[in-house]
Amino acid sequence: MRNSFTLLVLLLMCCWVPALAQENTVSGRVTGADEGMPLPGVSVTVKGTTIGTTTDADGRFTLNVPSDESILEFRFLGYRIQEVRVGNQRQVNVVMATDTQQLDEVVVTALGITREKKALGYAAQEVRTEELVQNRQPNVLNAMQGKVAGVTISSTGGAPGQGANIQIRGINSIDPNRPNQPLFVIDGIQVNNSTSTFGEGAELRGMSNRLADLNPDDIESINILRGGAATALYGLRGANGVVVITTKSGQKGEMRVNFTSTAGWEEVNKFPKIQDTYTQGYTGEYDPTSFWPSWGPTWQEARQIDPTHPEGIYNHFEDAYETGNQFRNTLTFSGGTDAITFSSSLSRLDHEGVLPFTDYQNTSARLNTEVKLSEKFSTGGNFNYIRSGGKRYNADRFNEMLSYWSPRWDVRDYVKPDGTMQSYGNDNPIYAASTNQFEDDVSRFIGGLNFSYKPLSWLDFNYRIGLDTYTDDRTRTAPGPRNVPDERLLDENGQGFVHEYTTKFRSINSTFIASLNKSFGDQFNATVRVGHELYDEYIKSFGVQGEELSVFDFFKLSNARFLSSSENESEYRLMGIFGEASFDYGDFLFLTLTGRNDITSSLAKAKRSFFYPSASISYIASEHLELPEFINQTKVRLSYAQIGKDASPYSISSGYAPYTSLPTGYTGATRAALLGNRELKPEFTNTYEAGLEMSFLDNRIGFDFTYYYSLSKDQILNIDVASTTGYVRAAINAGKMRNKGVEIVLNATPVRTTNFNWDTKLIFSANRNKILSLPEGLEEVTYASQFGYVGSTVTMKLIEGQPYGNIYGSHWQRYYGPGEEEDPLFIDESRPIVIGANGFPVRAPLSSQKLLGNSQPDWIGGFTNTFTYKGLSLTALLDARVGLEKYNQMDNFFAAFGIAEYTEDRNQTRVFDGVLSDGTPNTKEVWLGQGVGPDGVDYGNGYYRNHYRGVSENFVEDASWVRLRSLTLRYSLPQQWFDSIFIRNAALSFTGNNLWLSTDYKGFDPETSFSPSGSNVDGFSGFTYPAVRSYLFTLNIGL
Amino acid sequence: MRKIFRYILAFAIMGAVAGLQGCEDYFDKEDNPNLVPNPPLPTLLTTTTHKTGINSYLVSNITSYFVQYLASPSAGGSSDTYQITDYTGTWDALYWAMADIYDMRQLAIEQGATEYVGVANVLMAYHLSLVNDMWGDAPYSEAFANITLTPAFDDEANLYDVTTQLLDEAIVELQKPESTVRLIATSDVIHEGNVANWVKTAYALKARQLNKLSGTSFYNPQAVLEAVDNSYTSNADNAEMGVFQTRNPWAAVALSNAGNLLGGWLSEQLIQHLDGTSYGVFDPRLEQITDPTVNGDFVGTPNGTGNVGPANNTVKDENYISRNSPLTGDESPLIIVSYPEVKLIEAEAAFRAGQLDRAFEAYREAIRASMELLEVAQADADAYLSSSAVAQSASELTLDRIFQEKYVVTYLNPEAWNDARRYDYQYANFTLPAGAALPTFIRRVAYPSGEASKNPNTPDVTDLSLPLWWDQ
């Protein structure tokens, strides 16, 4: 009843106002400079009075002003405040410019608490929708690349839907199996961003990180909470940082419809350089059926023997990849009344990759709604349904098979008319991709309800309950033999198989917060919050593997001769009770104290409950002191936080797992892979952070500088252990790790005129990690290794005093004279290489494994420039990652199989630069080729196979890069075109991603990674799904 | 409307409070629901006996290239040519199996299940010998017992002693009458719960161990013969494992090869050993080991050379592991140790002890039993036994003849490499593989990178021509 009354009053007011004040009425329209779109909800006030209104959904306003001298003030979150003197104008149209340097901004912090940015005693950086959708990346994480300080985001490869990895302030956790990924919170609901590798071989199939389900067009803003003080209230799940995502909500007013369509194509952005001289065979002898793809003679020589040999050899790497394409449509509806607002969207993405037969689809539907039941009580709901998935292929195998494939043959000729593999002998990778399939189909629902009750002006209660649940069905199939004459079977297809896997995931997240706010005098304010949070997660996975198909291509389990099963179940529960007290004095000094006690189900009873505090201070000098005029704002921040962290579920228990290598009718048990540890205690990280934010010259230049230092001790990790222990991994509390670093955000507007704006933003961050101590009795902890031929396998291990990410491996022997001591860890590159009596460089004994590189960058940077001229804008984002190394396994194979461009010198002689074991210079001339050289000496398998490929040092490369991450040209069609038609606004844009890449790395784009997203192992980039360069066209229409 | 929301709010708060109160049980998620804390002994018996069979295959799939039963279809195969090759997968499989065997033994001791203690000892001894004979020094005393994450490497000669000791203990334990838990036929995939056969297997392995010392001063042929006396009396006693998820792993290799996924190619050495080239008489077992080529003849592949043509490698003009063989058919069991082998051990020990008649009898019986195992037609077996390839009297018997026969009997068995090393690879026409990475025959393999990278105690062995302690 009362609601209807309120509505009636409002309606009356709407009609009443124009009638009252006809003479002094000013009306107009507010649009955003960035997209030229009308801005709804802009606050329009007459300066110095309480007269004001907000713009409607169309950006229009009407206001009664007291006099012509009145000054209208336009305020809108994320835009610069604009003042306009009314004068004799009755129509005031305003274009508002975006502002990323506003201390008055309100930001969403932990647990959905909105706070003024100036009150924050820690770094927080927000990415808004305009910035986010600019490069039209289907995966939200990729869309954030290069835009946030302190955050390293890597796409693990260019496959459609392929997972991306995000790291905030370096690696905090030693355990590669314990994702270092931040917590993701969408509209207050903790959502899952795992990358599931359930299903045979899934870890190499470029599976999606679950956040890829989210449609970037749905997002209003993303706030990244980096330090301990920022994430303290989230408890241990926020220990690696928190990404707080707010999706678009509706505005009251008439319904608006927005349609966005993106279409484009993509191609591999970087291919390795390969030789184009030598053809199939071994020791220079031509053999068109040889396993060896390129150790034969030159193709010209081969043509003398075999006239069917093509003129030249194929570039099989370029041939095997295609042009991919993508197409995404999003339709959104929003609107509402005073009581109810809503925003909904529907979207569909179709994406085909550059590796043949890989694709990804995503269909998403969303409804966000807010209901204001009374002045005291409001409620709302967010609902998102997603269906996603596609065909994935194993890029590691694909590129490995490509390496074995002889470029004497056309790899694209992959199938015979009878459907079997076309091949001269080796497996054809395209045939493999076309037949050996792995398809996922995810059906996901994320929903949340929130209730807010404010019985008194100083008291409010907030409760939110959220659900994230999905089913991930995966089907892995390969056809069996067709039993036709001369059939060649593909290794990995075996006798045909069908595997069915299902994972059910469910997490419930409940948060209750009570807030009390009290002012003492006009200078002192206090807010106290207490709350309770619960997270309850259940995952169940099961699979049935059917091997050997009776009907070769009938992919049903009942058609398989042998069945086996796999299953896994996990439950995890976490409860936190927390409090926060914040005080502000005189609007320039802010102090926030927090405390949280977590109780986790993953530790033993005695260690399960633990408490940790945080404190942060923000001091706004510019509000307190008289500063020179050119300084607009000055803010100093200081914070300290402690964060606890628990173990992965079941790290404390050992036992026996089913032994699954038995046929039906037999059962067995075998020692579980993990040696559990009941004594595990929570690990704690202490972080200290200091920051300074300043802006100058009418806010045209500003910076935000942050320094942090964090120390983690008693890290919980599952280390790989030697099989002689009888286990694969063991859970331990291990040692100390330190991270420290700086983050800088620079904003400037070098040009600001009525029609032309130039905005620039520079982010820079550098993190330094060091392992301070390892558990007693361990000299090193190996957490990853990757194969390399004859002793060139590299390992990533933790060694005291060294940083995380170090890559170790075999190396050339350097010369040390009598009495000179060799450092066991570091290569002294100033020393000459020792050359053996045979004239070839000598590899140091394999027991000597030295540091060859580090996979963590020295620094990362992003540099965005936006030029806006009327409705036209051009944005360029340069992204850099510098000072890191990766192991290039592909190059190791390229050396072994004579594919690399540098193996072109195989039929030359050389005097290797170096010294003999007695220190005298080497003068012996040797032949690099295979077999008997021109000097009559038998060189066997040749330099590249006998020597070069066996030394890891040759394959750990500088993986630094600088790239033009994106270039976007956008044109908003002039507003006047639409004044009389049903379209409100329209814009066209072109986006190019990865248009330019500069790197010394020899393989594919070194941003790609062998490991699935979510892994902490980022040192291997060889046979990866190559990154892509994409060209996208977008049309946006508002109705 | 408002009422509804009030109720929801009230329930939600109640739910939160209830969560707080019931928290003790609510957070008790210590035990992994995917694991069994205390498995019954029979389930461990199935696992350990199955793994033992599979591991004999895994090891043989390496050693069969060294003894030239098998050859890689392409040139320069790394095992063929003695290159340092990473056998992490096999090493891990051996040690994870030993961990299960160790646990079964501990549990069996706790429960007084002496039969299980005995079987565990036999299986452990077998695994230890496989590890010991490939790598030499290896972790045992500190392995799989959860004492350290980086077990020390025990001296190879000590491991030999431990192996023999385990077998002696096994013989005692297996013969104790009152095992609290009995072996179960359906859980024992080697001897179907037959304790007497386990005792015989313990003796057979002991005979192997003792006979391995033939080149050392510790050699005692009498002790070998004593062990043989208590061992197998027919092929029915053989230790073999024939339970597979799909098929015998050699048959799987053969099946893949049939689909041109090449593998399981028989070496020229083996073919010539059997087809009369080396010993003048066609051995009928050849036809039971492999199928004739498309040309109807028998052609092996030289190690290190790969496919010799003239046709390309998918034309079936050479011999491969066959699914038609009684040894490598889909359902053929993997033989761990057999009666014919034991008889040849007896022949060798007796020969070395100067008991020529006993040696001769055992030698003939071994050949007969081998023919039987390979299902050779009686007439063909008899013809071979009376041919010049076989000693016809005790005086004709030589060690060479014994090793000649043993090479056939241990086809695809890891024990073949031990014999080859003891015999210095002196089989007729046995040569270094083409492109060998060593100047001499291979004597050991390098430690796998999987262990070396995680266990700093791993010795750095790069010289694969370095003999083991018993191989001097």
**pLDDT tens digits along A308-350:** 999 999 999 999 999 999 999 999 999 988 889 999 999 999 9
Q: In this complex, is the C-beta atom of A4 within 8 Å of any C-beta atom belonging to chain B?
A: no
Tokens of B350: 């007796």
CATH 3.90.870.10, applies to A124-268+323-394+436-779+857-885+962-1038:
no
Are A383 and A374 in contact by the 8 Å Cβ rule? The answer is: no
Residues in chain A closer than 8 A to B454 (CB atoms)? 720-722, 782
CB-CB neighbors (< 8 A) of B314 in chain A:
289, 425, 486, 488
A18 — pLDDT class (breaks 50, 70, 90): very low
What pLDDT, on a 0 to 100 scale, did the predictor assign at position B454?
Answer: 84
Nearest chain A residue to B245 by CA: give it.
A663
Predicted confidence at residue A167, as pLDDT, reads: 87
Residue B98: its chain A contacts at CB < 8 A? 726
CATH code for the domain in which residue B209 is found: 1.25.40.390
Residue B16: pLDDT band by 50, 70, 90 thresholds? low
Distance from CA of A318 to the nearest CA of B (A): 26
Q: With 60 as the cut, is the pLDDT of residue A22 above it?
A: no
Task: List CB contacts (< 8 A) between A846 and chain B.
Answer: 452, 460, 462
User: What mean pLDDT value characterizes chain A?
Assistant: 89
Residue B15 has pLDDT above 60, yes or no: no
Residue predicted with more confidence, A472 or A147: A472
Considering the domain boundaries, does residue B378 fall inside one?
no
Distance (Å) of CA A43 to CA A12, A20, A77, A961: 21, 21, 9, 44
Q: CA A861 to CA A961: how far, in whole Å?
A: 11
- From the list B244, B306, B455, the residue facing A724 with the nearest CB is B455
In tens, the pLDDT along A663-702 reads 988 999 999 999 999 999 999 999 999 999 998 888 889 9
| Facing residue for A662 by CB, picked from B33, B243, B261 | B243
B459 φψ region: left (φ > 0), alpha (ψ -120 to 50), beta (else)? beta
* The pLDDT of residue B2: 53
The average pLDDT across A302-313 equals: 95
Q: How many domains does chain B have?
A: 1
| Gap between the Cα atoms of A989 and A984, Å rounded | 17
Q: Does domain A19-96 have CATH number 2.60.40.4130?
A: yes
Cβ-Cβ contacts under 8 Å, A463 against chain B: 9, 12-13, 16
- CB of A454 within 8 Å of any CB in chain B? no
Give the model confidence (pLDDT) of B288-318 as tens digits.
Answer: 999 999 999 999 999 998 888 666 677 888 9
Q: What is the pLDDT of residues B128-180, one digit of tens each?
A: 999 999 999 999 999 998 889 899 999 999 999 999 999 999 999 999 998 99
- In tens, the pLDDT along B327-349 reads 999 999 999 999 999 999 999 99
Q: Per the structure block, which two tokens stand in for A63?
A: 């206001």
Tell me whether A780 touches chain B (CB under 8 Å).
Answer: yes
Q: What percent of chain B has pLDDT over 90?
A: 81
Structural domain containing residue B46:
41-242+438-454
Q: Are B93 and B61 in contact (CB under 8 A)?
A: no
CA distance A448 to chain B (A): 13
Name the nearest CA neighbour of B5 among A190, A533, A457, A463.
A463
Cβ atoms within 10 Å, residue B404 = 21
Q: What's the average model confidence in pLDDT over A635-647? A: 92
Q: How far apart are CA B98 and CA B426, in angstroms?
A: 34
- Residue B385 reports pLDDT greater than 50: yes
Q: pLDDT at position A79, please?
A: 76
Q: Flag whether residue A526 sits within 8 Å of chain B, measured between CB atoms.
A: no
Closest CB to A562 among B74, B246, B456? B246
- The pLDDT assigned to A14 comes to 40
Provide the number of CB pairs (under 8 Å) joining chain A to chain B. 249
Residue from the list A481, A564, A797 with its beta carbon closest to the beta carbon of B245: A564
Per-residue pLDDT, B311: 66
Residue A970 host element (H or E): strand A961-972
pLDDT for position B6:
58
Comparing CB atoms, the residue among A656, A668, A726 nearest residue B50 is A668
At A13 the pLDDT is 39
Test B456 with A780 for CB contact under 8 angstroms: yes
Residue A5 clears pLDDT 60, i.e. is over it: no
DSSP state of A278: B
A633 DSSP assignment: E
Shortest Cα distance from A656 to chain B (angstroms)?
A: 5
Is the Cβ of A485 closer than 8 Å to some Cβ of chain B? no
B103, part of any domain:
yes
Does residue B186 lie in a domain region? Answer: yes
Cα–Cα distance measured from residue B311 to residue B299, given in angstroms and rounded to the nearest whole number: 13
Q: Which of A29, A290, A840 is nearest to B262 (CA)?
A: A290
CB contact under 8 A, B450 and A561: no
Higher pLDDT, A39 or A268: A268
pLDDT band at A4 (very low <50, low <70, confident <90, very high): very low
Residue of A nearest to B314 (CA): A425
Cα–Cα distance for residue pair A551/A559, rounded to 1 Å: 7
For A878-936, the pLDDT digits (tens) are 999 999 999 999 999 999 999 999 999 999 999 999 999 999 999 999 999 998 999 99
Distance of CA A883 to the CA centre of its chain: 20
**pLDDT range class, residue B55, cuts 50, 70, 90:** very high
Where do the domains of chain A lie? Answer: 19-96, 124-268+323-394+436-779+857-885+962-1038
Residues of A in contact with B32 (CB under 8 A): 649-650, 653, 655, 672, 676
CA distance A615 to A580: 10
In a domain, B79, yes or no: yes
Q: Which range is most confident: A84-88, A96-100, B349-353?
A: B349-353
- List the single residue in B84, B145, B256 with the smallest CB-CB distance to A489: B256
pLDDT at A921: 96
CA distance A659 to chain B (A): 7
Q: CB A562 to CB B245 under 8 A? A: yes
Q: What is the pLDDT of residues A584-597, one digit of tens each?
A: 888 889 999 999 99
- CB–CB of B76 and A941 under 8 A? yes
Residues 6+ apart with CB under 8 A from B431: none
ipTM of the complex: 0.92
- Would you say the pTM of this structure is higher than 0.95? no
Mean pLDDT (chain B, rounded):
92
Neighboring chain B residues of A727 at a CB cutoff of 8 Å: 99
Residues A60-77: pLDDT tens digits?
A: 888 888 887 888 888 887
pLDDT at B123 over 80: yes
Task: Please tell me the least confidently modeled range out of B6-20, B304-318, B423-437.
Answer: B6-20
Least Cα separation, residue A677 to chain B (angstroms): 11
Residue B240 Cα distances to A202, B229, B407, angstroms:
35, 20, 19
Chain B within 8 Å of A725 (Cβ-Cβ)? yes
Beta-strand runs (E) in A320-374: 324-336, 340-352, 359-372
The stretch A358-362 carries a mean pLDDT of 96
**B31 pLDDT tier (thresholds 50, 70, 90):** confident
**Residue B49: inside a domain, yes or no?**
yes
Closest by Cα among B459, B441, B368, B417 to B138: B459
CB spacing of A667 vs B46 below 8 angstroms: yes
Within 8 A by CB and 6+ apart from A602, the residues are A572, A646, A647, A648, A649, A650, A651, A652, B29
Residue in B43, B243, B462 closest to A663 by CB: B243
Contact B246 A797 (CB under 8 A): no
Q: Which residue of A has its CA nearest to B147?
A: A725
Q: Of A256-270, B346-360, B381-395, B445-459, where does mean pLDDT reach its minimum? A: B445-459
- Note the pLDDT tens digit of each residue in A696-724: 888 889 999 999 999 998 888 888 889 99
Nearest chain B residue (CA) to A480: B259
C-alpha span between A324 and A349 (Å, rounded):
13
Residue A606 forms contact with B (CB below 8 Å): no
User: What band does B7 get if pLDDT is binned at 50, 70 and 90?
Assistant: low
Of A968, A965, A951, A967, the C-alpha closest to A1005 is: A965
- Per-residue pLDDT at A580: 93
Please, what sign has the CA dihedral across residues A722, A724, A727, A733? negative
Chain A residues lying within 8 Å of B33, measured CB to CB: 569-571
Cβ burial A180-215 (10 Å sphere, 16+ → b, else e): bbbbbbbbbbbbbbbbbbbbbbbbbbbbbbbbbbbb
In this prediction, residue A21 carries a pLDDT of 38
CB atoms A656 and B95 under 8 Å:
no
| pLDDT score recorded for residue B468 | 96
For the sheet containing A219-225, what is the strand order? A124-128, A219-225, A242-247, A183-186, A189-191
Burial of A566 (0-12, 13-18, 19+ CB in 10 A): middle
- pLDDT tens digits for range A170-191: 887 777 667 788 999 999 999 9
d(Cα A110, Cα A283) in Å, to the nearest integer? 65
Q: What is the mean pLDDT of residues A128-151?
A: 85
Q: Are strands A524-549 and A560-585 parallel, antiparallel or unpaired?
A: antiparallel
Chain Cα centroid distance, residue A826: 32
Q: How far apart are CA A295 and CA A284, in angstroms?
A: 6
Choice between B381 and A25, residue whose per-residue pLDDT is larger: B381
